[in-house]
A and B are shown apart, each in its own frame.
Chain A
């Protein structure tokens, strides 16, 4: 397997951004900085969104479903040909891990700013990638997923895996058919009751066994690989604060890693990249147990949403590196020159209602606000833009980089006040509640954090003094457009006060 690309060493002059929203705007910025022209895509309904006009050229994909627009490979290839595109940046999501897209681009002599189709296929198969990593000597969560369901076999496997042990119905959900065993002598009884429960709930009593990780942290390592055999890591990101298995707060460095553990996890990450002859930017995701054991979870063969915190602590622009690598250049730095400086924090601002099961919300942004000094705001929305149900409800990423974790947290809370994204329900308040939680401040962060501290993270009741401030603002700005003129009232005279 080689990374010889027939377009290597050819300077990229024009890039197509095969994505939308904040990531399209962000990639365009790096293109501009490198003196490369950028072409962005948009759909009919998105004409007013920033990404639609972010590029030097904007091409409309027309109307229709995702399959007819952003996921429409033939259409994107046609656009590439029509606009003489040298390279395509896929962003994250959409076609970014679609090996068919990678192959089609290659067939059409267009560079993909990303890894080979083979890397995507290998890492896209979660089961096969784990087996392959295990062979390489990378730790994976010990488990048994076999079809032989005899109690004797399961007991033997349980002993191999060790405790605490998780027994889980393969058809399971909602905790049914699930047992945690802390002592191997309890395995047989737990197996019987889990199977009975699974049979009643799902009509299927097949179970799987896995090492149970009580307080897991999500730690991932950024890697970069070029076509000259260099494989570097850019340290870790901790992304333990999640809701609905989606990250909402990320930070780098992780407070959970000792120098020794960091060295081991990053060395394993570059070993994986080297082993699969990776190309471009990728992320190795691990689960970290409280005892310092870590396990390979998966590799994401693309740029991550949370890449800006890595850029903040390393000073490296990952998109520029991706572009340089794609045109056959070497990584711009040496591994031992790279340092983690300060502490970076990212929050994902979503149009959703955290106090109602994180239900996505829609509406028109009446006032976004401005991020203050030293705050990076990666957003795909401006004032008066509509948030619709057609796409992911992420409004923005807010990134703060400071000398210490405490300063980063405080400044993030201030930043969130400056960019309220009024007009749609957002998780802004909720993010501040998490950032203010004593356990978060201590750095005691686990993937079930928001569930564990659910009761502490509920809505905060506003005091009358606070409401009075809103009343004063309301009265003083004469914001009475909802005034019902059919009701006789002296307040009608206020109309004369506009302007």
Chain B
């Protein structure tokens, strides 16, 4: 079955919005061609569709690659990567969705370095917190604008709380 010719798919890769132009996709037969970052790619899948450990053959040079993909996490050549369909409509604070900088564990907020409206770059230090007797820096997972700061200096927070929201 032939599916989706010349369709744009918007993905979020490692927190960054990325356009992929799908040239051909047939999931049943396991073949896909697409344009990504100005280059054409063509792959066929060798493994069963439901297996998170995915064997691919690059049809252009006949090289085999192994990719592990489960939910929105992948490993390629031993390197970690997050990949998901880009969400146009963002929900507010409280979730652990892309764009929310979440406290990794309960702790005390030592420093808040940003305020609503600030532009940040991926990797910028947003919050310094103390947890398990150590200082931890919460860094921006992507470029964007701060839309909410949900904690203040000196406050105690639970693990899993969205401390800062970033809109891309």
Interface residues of A (CB under 8 A from B): 356-357, 359-362, 366-367, 369, 389, 413, 416-418, 420, 422-423, 425, 428-429, 432, 460, 462, 464-484, 486-487, 490-491, 493-494, 497
Contacts and interface: CB of A to CB of B under 8 A. Distances in A.
A493 B80 CA distance: 29
Contacts of B89: 484, 486-487
Range, interface on chain B: 35 or more
A478 B27 contact: yes
A470 B87 CA distance: 18
Contacts of B66: 417
Given A366-B71, A471-B34, A476 B54 contact: yes
B139 interface: yes
Nearest to B81: A470
Contact of A389 (B84, B87, B159): B159
A466 B76 contact: yes
Contact of B9 (A417, A475, A482): A475
Contacts of A366: 52, 70-71, 73
B76 A479 contact: no
A473 B71 contact: no
A-B pairs, top 6 by smallest CB distance, nearest first, are A367-B70, A472-B43, A473-B67, A366-B70, A422-B73, A367-B52
Interface string B76-112: 1111110111011100000000000000111000000
A422 B52 contact: yes
Given A475-B32, A476-B49, A478-B27, A429 B13 contact: no
B78 A413 contact: yes
Given A464-B36, A464-B39, A476 B87 contact: no
Contacts of A465: 39
A360 B76 contact: no
B116 interface: no
Contacts of A481: 71
A359 B104 CA distance: 8
A468 B76 CA distance: 10
Contact of B25 (A466, A475, A486): A475
A482 B85 contact: yes
Contact of B39 (A468, A473, A478): A468
B78 A429 contact: yes
B117 interface: no
Contacts of B28: 497
Contacts of B27: 475-478, 494, 497
B75 A417 contact: yes
A483 B71 contact: no
Most buried by A among B39, B50, B73: B73
B87 A484 contact: yes
Q: Is the interface of B mostly helix, strand, loop or mixed?
A: strand
Contacts of A469: 43, 56, 58, 65, 67, 76-77
20 contacts: A356-B137, A357-B134, A360-B105, A362-B104, A369-B68, A422-B70, A422-B73, A460-B79, A462-B77, A466-B77, A468-B34, A470-B74, A473-B45, A473-B67, A475-B9, A477-B27, A483-B85, A490-B7, A491-B85, A493-B3
Contacts of A493: 3
Nearest to A479: B69
B75 A422 contact: yes
A474 B74 contact: yes
B69 A477 contact: yes
B88 A487 contact: yes
A416 B78 contact: yes
A361 B80 CA distance: 15
Interface of B: 3-4, 7, 9, 11, 13-14, 20, 22, 25, 27-28, 30-32, 34, 36-37, 39, 41, 43, 45, 49-50, 52-54, 56, 58, 65-81, 83-85, 87-89, 104-106, 132, 134-137, 139, 159-160
Contacts of A466: 76-77, 79
Contacts, number: 175
A476 B160 CA distance: 32
A466 B75 CA distance: 10
A423 B67 contact: no
B92 to A, nearest CB: 15
Given A416-B78, A429-B78, A479-B69, 15 more contacts: A422-B68, A429-B79, A464-B36, A465-B39, A471-B34, A473-B56, A473-B69, A474-B74, A474-B83, A475-B27, A476-B31, A482-B84, A482-B85, A490-B7, A491-B85
Contacts of B3: 493-494, 497
A493 to B, nearest CB: 8
Contacts of A494: 3-4, 27
Nearest to A477: B49
Nearest to A366: B70
A361 B25 CA distance: 36
B4 A471 contact: no
Given A367-B52, A474-B69, A484 B88 contact: yes
A333 to B, nearest CB: 39
Contacts of B50: 477
B80 A423 contact: no
A390 to B, nearest CB: 10
Contact of B68 (A367, A480, A490, A491): A367
Contacts of A482: 72, 84-85, 87
A470 B105 CA distance: 30
A418 B65 CA distance: 13
